[in-house]
Structure 1
Amino acid sequence: MGTVAAHVAAAQPGREAARQALDTAAVEVVVEVATKVEQTPWGTRFAGSARTSAGEAPVTVQWRGDDPPIGLDLGARVVITGEAEASGPGEAAVATVFADEVSVTESPAHVFGVASSLRRGFVADVSSSLPGAGGDLLPGLSVGETSAVTPELDAAMKASSLSHLTAVSGSNCALVVGLAFAASAACGAGRRTRVVIALAVLGLFVLLVTPEASVIRAATMSAIAMLALLLGRRGSGVAVLSLAVVVLLAMDPWLAASYGFLLSASATGALLLLTPPLARGFERWMPRVVALAIAVPLAAQLVCGPIIALFASEVALYGVVANIVAGPAAPAATVLGLIACLAQPLPLLASGTAALAWLPSAWVARTAETFAGLPSARLGWWEGALGGVTLALVGVIVTVAIAGLPASRVGERSRSRWVRLAVMAQRLSAGAVALILGVGTGTAALGGIAAPLTAPREWSIALCDVGQGDAIVIRSGAQVALIDTGPDAAALRRCLSRLGVDSIDVAFITHFDMDHAAGLPALEGRVATIVHGPAEREADLAPARAAADDVRAGHAGMHGRVGEASWRILWPAGETRAFPPGNDTSLVLEIGGGAVPRTLLLGDLGADAQRILVDGGTVAGTFDVVKVSHHGSRDQFPALYERIRPRVALIGVGENDYGHPHPDALAVLARSGAVVARSDTDGLVLVSDTERLAVWRDEPPP
């Protein structure tokens, strides 16, 4: 700890100077790429070392462009222009650079260039000829190259808790080191030579798969094990892991804040410490081979689950079973895929080996897709510290129920008391597990197959409870429209599942603020057409294009039908320059007809834009339902609501620091005579118009 603290203290002045130098709205900086270049829904992302007036400093780069330039890879030198934002003191990068332009001045050279060519060639020339998801996944399984993995397959891998298979781990490094050690031994090399060759091959492998946190941890453990062998000593797995963690944190203290490093180290510790007692516990009911097959993924899930809950509000419900099914195929795909990648200079050997690797790769992909498609594959959970603590408590209960308490090292007089305590704890834990399983099964059923039974069937408008954001579903006959996605894809998925909505005919993204568009991944594979408001940058459209093949810009005058209802966009005009992209250029829609009451959806329009709607006569007549603008902010034009005289006012709002909905906005709605329904207090809100206009609330007011 002292070494780590000293490193942080020594580095902090230089980091702070670099942070201040980079915290500017306009920046041009030279960056040497030090990580994998990844494609995200928001563009291209990588990290590296930037040259600043205060010296070299680590930065993260987020590029808004569509396709990365040729040569952008680990080891490249690039010039970036854009804007920079200083990071918090606990983050590894001193700043995030939001790049407008990325220019490669030096492509990866020497061994970096060879590794880059092998990775890119494996994707472009070898795996691309293989069919389906098996070909897309193979580079990820073998060398950690996930650029070919589609958003749908990536979501399935995460939902089934199989995404760790595309992150190079200790098993990959151990395999490479073992093969190198065995090959050099077969050639008659001595122990020292074998260790040196194995370490050299390990270093080249790290460059091939790129030095991510999990790779660095695994490689360090392998290197320590090799050095121990060279010295004629054998160390336990726990000792090797502990030394590796200490060494890495001393070299880079900011790894302690890396979720990838935490998950990698924790999973390894779980396999070393938790798997044996769990396997012994399972042996009471099943053969040892089966017990071990279950204990390995269960140990990893019990330990990693609380860490994942810190940043994700979901639990992969079928993760253990999916890992049992996919586990045996992963090593074969890894070994054969790695051979195919390295054999690219011999095309016949590369293509033949890749064809053999395709079968286990396809098995893993199909397993992920199958389990991700099961009801409640992603079980909702609390996010943050509460979610982590509660899931850790569940893990302790499950472990005690299966393995019991560890043997006590006490005298004979106290041993019987300890045995009674251990038996009682195990029984209580077993009861708690039964209760958790019962509650979990019921929750999964209510959130999956039985979800539509928990809400009235006759509805035409649904205001989803997605937190501080908008997500409104409109149904007419057999067709469905969605207006905005809210900030949380998991919350939107739960709402759609509860409503029994499997497919969406048209989705409207009024504008690209996170509280209206961040849930777009929930629409992947279920939406036909997306109509969007003005985008500030081309990269904003990437999540929409990943979700639907038909993505088009919306403008005033565009119209269409959803079932028996007609919709029309009222705002903004196609080439308006009165307002920049954002709240005041939100799509404004009216929709109605059939069983859908006449509805006006105002996006996040402010008072000035609302005034233009009124003064220009764009909004005509009265409306049955209005989606209140900007979550009920104070920035409203009262005359608009007085003109449309809504009977029902819907407010999409969650916990927030903005004071939404503002008392002034609520007063405007009260004067217009509207019944107000808001998702923060009412939960899911349904509106129907059969014999009369009716509002149903998930959590009725007292």
Structure 2
Amino acid sequence: MALVLAAVVGLLLVWRRRLTDNGEVEPWTRVAWVGVGTSVVVGGLAIAAALQVATVRAGPVYGLAGGSATVSVRVRIDGDPILKQSTTSRRPPYVVVKATVEEVRSRASGQSSTSVRVRTPVLLIGTAKWKDVRFGQHVDASGRLERVDSGGEVAAMLSTRSPPRIVDAPPWWLRSAERVRAGLRQAVAHEPDDVRGLVPALVMGDVSGVSAELNADFRITGLTHLSAVSGTNLTLLLAFLLPLARLIGVRARGLTVVGVLTVVVFVVLARPQPSVLRAAAMGLIALAAMTGGGGQRRAVRSLSVAVIVLLLLDTSLARSAGFALSVLATAGIVLLGPGWRDALARWLPGWLADAISCPLAAQLACTPIVAWLSGQVSLVAVVANLLAGPTVGPATILGFVAAGVALLSAGLARIVGWAAGWPARWIILVAREGADLPGAESAWPATVFGVAVLTLLCLALVFGMHRILERPIAMILATVVLAVVVLRPIGTFGWPPRDWLFAVCDVGQGDGLVLRAGDGTAVVVDTGPDPAAMDRCLKDLGVRHIPVVVLSHFHADHVGGLAGVLSGRQVDEIEVTPYFSPRAEYDRVMELAGHSGAEVRTVAFHERRVVGQVSWTTLWPAKVPALPQAGTSSATSTDEGSPENNASIAMMVEVGGLRILLTGDLEPESQRAVLASGAELRADVLKVPHHGSARQDPAFIAAVNARLAVISAGRDNDYGHPAPRTLDLLSHNTTRTATTNVSGSLIITNPNNRLSLATRSSEAVG
């Protein structure tokens, strides 16, 4: 293959000399150049992919993983450890971190141990004790190797229950960078929580302190690149720093030196991980596109070369959504930004034309991929980036200064950190207020057809945008239309129905239920796993006051979104199950309740409550199992039949003439107990227990005899919810079924005592 490519390149060089008399390349030669050049690139990528697969599989690690071998290894930590919580399993928190195995020791049956030196990338999964390992350290560990999907960037997964045994410290330059990072964190330690998390993220990509709520707001407003290492972030930093250097007299090569030093410092502080190096490359290319004098053509060539080289070095990037977004954003800035800037500059100041054209081009280029990944399209991203962009540079520069000063004086660093906090406050304000707008983002089907349609719409905008931007009246009209869509002064265009009574929010793999108690008032039952999804649903419903939040049990897929419910709303009371397990989630709920001022009370068996238009009777739990001892697990590996599920709050709700039975995650054991209690279970609507799992008691389902069953489950979830067996059971009971994993959020109304179900497509069942 290599010889063929060499021959093709040789022929190409010969053809290049065949010029016409006027010195221009013949058309057929130009076509040949393009075709052969494409073949060379594709062939090179194929060879690189084969070499990468061979490299990953070289050595004993891949083979040992195929046999699930237990090994002792020495690894080099190649990333920051990420502490994760399981959403439904009762397993304790665990750590995921990238590492490279440099030595592997294994012992075969009846033989002595063998040691082999290797360089094999793995994904290490360990206990919470691994959360303190540092980038660049060498660590000894023992665990089990398991195979991963082929074609990835790692050869195996190493699962270990042993604590890390530190061999040595990171290299001196990484230790120095860590001291600077620690100094910056200390410099902003006395700032508000969001500021304390955002400034290190801006300066060095340290996102450990950025809250889930702020991340969600950044995602909605298209500012995610600010809370992580990205090419756009580095571009904004350079775009602020180089004009400042020019202002103090730096010229020509001096500007190049300033830019290169900035990139080097940025890479060292953020650590030379692949994402950081990609960000540096894309940031420099994007900056080149905004310079005059033929810079666009050079930037296009630079972007093409950078993409090819990066793919040759790591072909797995071809499957990386982050890489695709980075390339598309840079391509948008390179190809569209200059022309749009010139169009705007006909009637706007140059600095404002730059500020508008850059985020507009990047956002439009990335929109189809963002919709594919999230099922949402941000309508405020351009404005949010326009408002936040001017303060990114000052916040980052002051953060850099604070980090450096911290090595000399903690007190002086705190003053500089305080100054860096003010522009960071503005960025946070833009994100918060932008995400709170009624039409900040719009749902879009994440299907092949949906993304194809959106791509065609974006291409139509690309071809028509220049004409819009160069005409002030067209721009004003477009801005007014966008403002109407985002602010929704005339309502939410039919969603939700004005007479809604019960909403099953699309929160992914979890439950998030809302019962209308009055105008702007609702009772919330469970909050799903994602604060952003629950917050968005409540915004769509116009809920501002929540007298009671009922948490059926303390699994994360039912309480993880509590912060989203509490965000910007008055919550009076949180009602919880008396089974306070798992303890970590219970403690988190109590902490959030304490911060919000909401009272926490434990539900009582058979109590009846009335809140506005909603009334309910608690049917379960009647008895509470003994809590597990510390350090033990109360659930099976699959969570079926777990005490937490069986201690779920079950309640018969009456609202707007409907009877609705809410069941949490009750398993058949508790379903039979509720049935045996003699309670009247007949209901119009049944919230099917445990996301429609296969474990349902047929007698319980028959006793409810619901006209409509609703199931809240995540799209393509790993649990097979809802189970075909459960759907068949409901069908045999002549119960119609609606699921969030198919239809998204579900709204139930009862006009003229006729039960109706509405989805985004306004489907209804009687």
TM-score by length of 2: 0.71
| Aligned with 2:300 (options 234, 238, 243) | 238
SS in structure 2 of the partner of residue 376 of structure 1: coil
Alignment of 1:662-701 (within 5 A): 662=726, 664-670=728-734, 680=742, 684-686=746-748, 695-698=755-758, 699-701=763-765
Q: State the number of aligned residues.
A: 656
**Match of residue 133 from structure 1:** 194
State the Cα distance separating 1:633 from its structure 2 match.
5.6
Alignment of 1:25-44 (within 5 A): 30-38=74-82, 44=95
Q: Does the Cα contact within 8 Å between 1:19 and 1:94 map onto a contact in 2?
A: yes
**Match of residue 584 from structure 1:** 641
Using the alignment, how far apart are the partners of 1:306 and 1:176 within structure 2? 29
Task: Verify: 1:11 aligned to 2:52, yes or no.
Answer: yes
SS in structure 1 of the partner of residue 756 of structure 2: strand
Return closer, same or farther for 1:14/1:344 CA change in 2, 3 Å cut-off. Answer: same
**Match of residue 330 from structure 1:** 392
State the Cα distance separating 1:117 from its structure 2 match.
2.2
Q: Does the Cα contact within 8 Å between 1:511 and 1:582 map onto a contact in 2?
A: no
| Aligned with 1:74 (options 132, 135, 138) | 135
**Match of residue 488 from structure 2:** 445
**Match of residue 679 from structure 2:** 620
State the Cα distance separating 1:146 from its structure 2 match.
2.0
Q: Deviations over 1:106-153 (max 9, x none)?
A: 443411112122212321x21112345334321112222222222222
Using the alignment, how far apart are the partners of 1:535 and 1:78 within structure 2? 37
Using the alignment, how far apart are the partners of 1:223 and 1:681 within structure 2? 43
Q: Does the Cα contact within 8 Å between 1:648 and 1:675 map onto a contact in 2?
A: yes
SS in structure 2 of the partner of residue 323 of structure 1: helix
Letter in 1 for 2:322: G
State the Cα distance separating 1:296 from its structure 2 match.
0.9
Q: Does the Cα contact within 8 Å between 2:509 and 2:712 map onto a contact in 1?
A: yes
Using the alignment, how far apart are the partners of 2:237 and 2:346 within structure 1? 34
Using the alignment, how far apart are the partners of 1:473 and 1:27 within structure 2? 50
Using the alignment, how far apart are the partners of 2:744 and 2:200 within structure 1? 47
Alignment of 1:629-668 (within 5 A): 629-632=689-692, 635-646=695-706, 649-652=709-712, 660=724, 662=726, 664-668=728-732
| Aligned with 1:471 (options 501, 512, 526) | 512
Using the alignment, how far apart are the partners of 2:492 and 2:220 within structure 1? 20
Moved more, 351-360 or 520-529: 520-529
Q: Does the Cα contact within 8 Å between 2:285 and 2:303 map onto a contact in 1?
A: no
| Aligned with 1:506 (options 541, 544, 549) | 549
State the Cα distance separating 1:337 from its structure 2 match.
0.9
Using the alignment, how far apart are the partners of 1:667 and 1:445 within structure 2? 40
Using the alignment, how far apart are the partners of 1:665 and 1:305 within structure 2? 41
**Match of residue 209 from structure 2:** 148
Alignment of 1:486-565 (within 5 A): 492-493=534-535, 495-502=537-544, 504=546, 505-508=548-551, 510=553, 512=555, 522-523=564-565, 525=567, 529=574, 531=576, 561=609, 563=611, 564-565=615-616
**Match of residue 311 from structure 2:** 249
**Match of residue 359 from structure 1:** 422
Q: Does the Cα contact within 8 Å between 2:713 and 2:739 map onto a contact in 1?
A: yes
Task: Verify: 1:21 aligned to 2:84, yes or no.
Answer: no
Letter in 2 for 1:367: V
SS in structure 1 of the partner of residue 164 of structure 2: strand
SS in structure 2 of the partner of residue 309 of structure 1: helix
State the Cα distance separating 1:442 from its structure 2 match.
5.3
Letter in 2 for 1:258: S
Q: Does the Cα contact within 8 Å between 1:472 and 1:484 map onto a contact in 2?
A: yes
**Match of residue 235 from structure 2:** 171
Letter in 2 for 1:392: T
State the Cα distance separating 1:665 from its structure 2 match.
0.9
SS in structure 2 of the partner of residue 584 of structure 1: coil
Letter in 2 for 1:621: E
Using the alignment, how far apart are the partners of 1:545 and 1:48 within structure 2? 36
State the Cα distance separating 1:662 from its structure 2 match.
4.6
SS in structure 2 of the partner of residue 622 of structure 1: coil
Return closer, same or farther for 1:545/1:323 CA change in 2, 3 Å cut-off. Answer: farther
State the Cα distance separating 1:538 from its structure 2 match.
7.2
Task: Verify: 1:60 aligned to 2:89, yes or no.
Answer: no
Q: Does the Cα contact within 8 Å between 1:570 and 1:618 map onto a contact in 2?
A: no
Task: Verify: 1:208 aligned to 2:249, yes or no.
Answer: no
User: What percentage of residue pairs aligned between the two structures are identical?
Assistant: 27
Q: Deviations over 1:402-430 (max 9, x none)?
A: 2259xxxxxxxxxxxxxxxxx9xx9xxx9
Letter in 2 for 1:92: E
Letter in 2 for 1:93: V
What's the C-alpha RMSD, in Å, of the aligned pairs? 5.0
**Match of residue 368 from structure 2:** 306
Q: Does the Cα contact within 8 Å between 2:618 and 2:652 map onto a contact in 1?
A: yes
SS in structure 2 of the partner of residue 11 of structure 1: helix
**Match of residue 377 from structure 1:** 440
Using the alignment, how far apart are the partners of 2:380 and 2:737 within structure 1? 40
Q: Does the Cα contact within 8 Å between 1:584 and 1:609 map onto a contact in 2?
A: no
Return closer, same or farther for 1:308/1:644 CA change in 2, 3 Å cut-off. Answer: closer
Using the alignment, how far apart are the partners of 1:576 and 1:589 within structure 2? 16
Using the alignment, how far apart are the partners of 1:667 and 1:462 within structure 2? 22
Return closer, same or farther for 1:49/1:533 CA change in 2, 3 Å cut-off. Answer: farther
Q: Deviations over 1:290-328 (max 9, x none)?
A: 322211110110112222223111222111111111111
Using the alignment, how far apart are the partners of 2:526 and 2:560 within structure 1? 9
TM-score by length of 1: 0.77
SS in structure 1 of the partner of residue 686 of structure 2: strand
State the Cα distance separating 1:351 from its structure 2 match.
2.5
Using the alignment, how far apart are the partners of 2:393 and 2:622 within structure 1? 55
Gap regions ≥5 residues in structure 1: 227-232, 406-422
Letter in 2 for 1:87: V
Letter in 1 for 2:48: H
Using the alignment, how far apart are the partners of 2:346 and 2:155 within structure 1? 52
Using the alignment, how far apart are the partners of 1:238 and 1:542 within structure 2? 53
Return closer, same or farther for 1:491/1:276 CA change in 2, 3 Å cut-off. Answer: same
State the Cα distance separating 1:649 from its structure 2 match.
4.0
State the Cα distance separating 1:380 from its structure 2 match.
1.5
Q: Does the Cα contact within 8 Å between 1:511 and 1:533 map onto a contact in 2?
A: no
Task: Verify: 1:389 aligned to 2:452, yes or no.
Answer: yes
SS in structure 1 of the partner of residue 733 of structure 2: helix
Q: Does the Cα contact within 8 Å between 1:135 and 1:361 map onto a contact in 2?
A: no
Return closer, same or farther for 1:664/1:262 CA change in 2, 3 Å cut-off. Answer: closer
Task: Verify: 1:121 aligned to 2:163, yes or no.
Answer: no
Return closer, same or farther for 1:15/1:683 CA change in 2, 3 Å cut-off. Answer: same
Moved more, 674-683 or 131-140: 674-683
SS in structure 2 of the partner of residue 358 of structure 1: helix
Letter in 2 for 1:506: V
SS in structure 1 of the partner of residue 445 of structure 2: coil
State the Cα distance separating 1:92 from its structure 2 match.
2.3
SS in structure 1 of the partner of residue 621 of structure 2: strand
Letter in 2 for 1:8: A
Q: Does the Cα contact within 8 Å between 2:526 and 2:549 map onto a contact in 1?
A: no
Task: Verify: 1:264 aligned to 2:326, yes or no.
Answer: yes
Using the alignment, how far apart are the partners of 1:126 and 1:518 within structure 2? 31
Q: Does the Cα contact within 8 Å between 1:569 and 1:589 map onto a contact in 2?
A: yes
SS in structure 1 of the partner of residue 189 of structure 2: helix
Q: Does the Cα contact within 8 Å between 1:28 and 1:81 map onto a contact in 2?
A: yes
State the Cα distance separating 1:154 from its structure 2 match.
2.0
Return closer, same or farther for 1:374/1:56 CA change in 2, 3 Å cut-off. Answer: same
